[in-house]
Amino acid sequence: MSQVLTTISENAPRVEAPDGPPAIRISHVHKSFGRPGAANHVIDDICLDVAPGEFVTLLGASGCGKSTLLNLVAGLDKPTAGTIEVPGARPALMFQEHALFPWLTAGKNIELALRLAGVARAERRAEAERLLDLVRLGGAYGKRVHELSGGMRQRVALARSLAQGSNVLLMDEPFAALDAITRDVLHDEITRIWAERKLTVLFVTHNVREAVRLAQRVVLLSSRPGRVAREWQIDLPQPRRIESAGVAELSIEITEELRGEIRRHVQH
Amino acid sequence: MSSTDTSPAPNPAPNPAPAAPATTDDLGAGLDALDAVVLQRVPLSETLRKKVLPPVLAVVLVLGAWQLAFDLKLTDSYKLPSPAMVWQSLVDLWQAGTLFSIIWTSLWRGVSGFAAAVVIGTPIGLLVARVKPVRTAIGPILSGLQSLPSVAWVPAAVIWLGINDQMMFAVILLGAVPSIANGLVAGIDQVPPLFLRAGRTMGATGFAGARHVLLPAALPGYLAGLKQGWAFAWRSLMAAELVASSPDLGLGLGRYLENQREQNDMPGVLLGIVIILFVGIAIDLLVFSPIERRVLRSRGLLAGSR
């Protein structure tokens, strides 16, 4: 497994995507909340390019600004400084909570996303059914949200995200609230769908094994303020198993690095 | 859901071989089968036994106690007539052919006043909920108005508008509009911010956001406000009818009540109270409760009945 060690200063204008411009380009982004000052400085000069079709996980302890960064990429918030470019349709964002609308059925949730993306009325139903098939929930069109299990809800949420018509999928700890068995299954699903639909995925997690299980590239963020601390390129073949030796080995290494980042915050 | 023939994937244990997609298929399907929430309809007989029988029993008990108090002559019979005497008043009113016209006069006033209150209260609620300065300015007044008994408006309304139907509508509006507006404000305030964020990532902003996310999410609170608004409208109307007396006005329930008091007709007075109560309950049971139950059930918010 090769590792690419990067520091932020030397790689500002990168040319790493051979096939055209990156799907996500984050350039020197800063984010502060409220009054300026070190305590409110959440993101500090982050630069990150994600190539089209790449699966990147953002890893970090709490306070590293990973969710904030995802919100910025999603356009829900504006950076204090720096720029974020996401060419094409508005990127889809998945949350830890499914965020499905309980007044709509599973199918109608997806159709609402299609409608807001400008899909014609006549095509919505068939497209929603197709997306439900994609997440292996063929029979769930008429199901209410409360009739679905946690894993099924996240799959409907995934289908709804895909319905937005963007190839860029942002995921904010989407499986953190699921039990381990369901999470394993959804790891397989997202890996399969990412490959099938040629998605670009930026996936935030604090679970090191999950990050290694899923990603082609793991980006470790430092905390308070969030900076890119280190990156790992992961060449293990997909589909991986979270309990496999390769994943475990790299996870130990990354965990050590992560712990080192956390220890830096010990007050002396 | 405990059938043995659908046991999930035979060996999800860590085999040295990498997971083939086929086994995760089965595994996922097995998980879905195990986790899916099973919904059951309650049979009619059980509904009757658990939901209908208790209130019927309670009414029978009250009637029995009332009859007993009458038989024991706890007080003069002109103060406490028997249930049968009240029933006789009802029969008299029925035979005179005025029963339904009295109920209809009040009901028509109440329903049309309530409809006007919905039309006025809803935009006010939207403004208060979504426009900060408006909320700061009139939000506290609006919730304060809910605790003002609407009968207090009657004298003012009589001076402004005279003793007529307009006055009644004014009193109904003053009673019901704050409840409806406040219900909508509460409904909007309780919308989880996550829904709004999810809506915005899908492109539901501005009018589309209000239509597809904010208003549907606020519906349960709004319905609760409508229900309370109806209760306030009905009370306000009865107060207005009791106080305002004019030959030009049609005979409604409140006026009927007051007329019977003037004639010292205690069975008639009790009958008036019972009908007013009955109409209020009937509207709630026939109109608001079914809508509210349907909305809550479809969202999985109704405890015990899924």
Residues A154 and A172 reside in one and the same domain: no
Name the closest residue on chain B to residue A191, using Cα atoms. B21
Tokens describing residue B5: 């023939």
Total count of domains within chain A: 2
Architecture of the structural domain at B89-298: Orthogonal Bundle (1.10)
Select from A105, A112, A160, A189 the residue whose CB has the most chain B CBs within 10 Å, as the one to mutate to test that interface: A112
The DSSP secondary structure of A207-230, one letter per residue, reads -HHHHHHH-SEEEEEETTTBEEEE
CB contact A117 to B (< 8 Å): yes
Determine the structural domain holding residue A54 and report its residue range: 9-91+166-263
Same domain for A17 and A144, yes or no, is: no
Tell me if A203 is assigned to some domain: yes
Instruction: Give the H or E element holding residue B188.
Output: helix B165-189
pLDDT (tens digit, 0 to 9) for every residue of chain B, 306 residues total? 333 444 444 444 444 444 444 455 677 777 777 776 666 677 788 888 888 889 899 999 999 999 999 998 888 878 889 999 999 999 999 999 899 999 999 999 999 999 999 999 999 999 999 888 998 898 888 888 888 888 888 889 989 998 888 899 999 999 999 999 999 999 999 999 999 999 998 888 888 888 899 999 999 999 999 999 999 999 999 999 988 877 778 888 999 999 999 998 999 999 999 999 999 889 988 999 899 988 988 888 876 544
**Could you tell me if A81 and A170 lie in one domain?**
yes
pTM of the predicted model as reported, rounded to 2 decimal places: 0.77
Q: Does A133 touch chain B (CB under 8 A)?
A: no
| Chain A residues in contact with B216 (beta carbon < 8 A) | 101, 103-104
- Same domain, yes or no, for A173 and A242? yes
Count of C-beta atoms within a 10 Å radius of residue B108: 13
Of the residues A145, A165, A185, the one at which a domain ends: A165
Give the domain ranges of chain B.
Answer: 89-298
A131 shares a domain with A237: no
Q: How far apart are CA B238 and CA B14, in angstroms?
A: 74
Residues A141 and A256 in one domain: no
CB of A136 within 8 Å of a chain B CB? The answer is: yes
Give yes or no for B16 touching A (CB within 8 A).
no
Q: Which one of A110, A141, A165 terminates a domain?
A: A165
Q: How far is CA B297 from CA A70, B45, B187, in A?
A: 35, 20, 17
CATH number at A58 reads: 3.40.50.300
**Has residue A1 been placed in a domain?**
no
Q: Are residues A76 and A114 in the same domain?
A: no
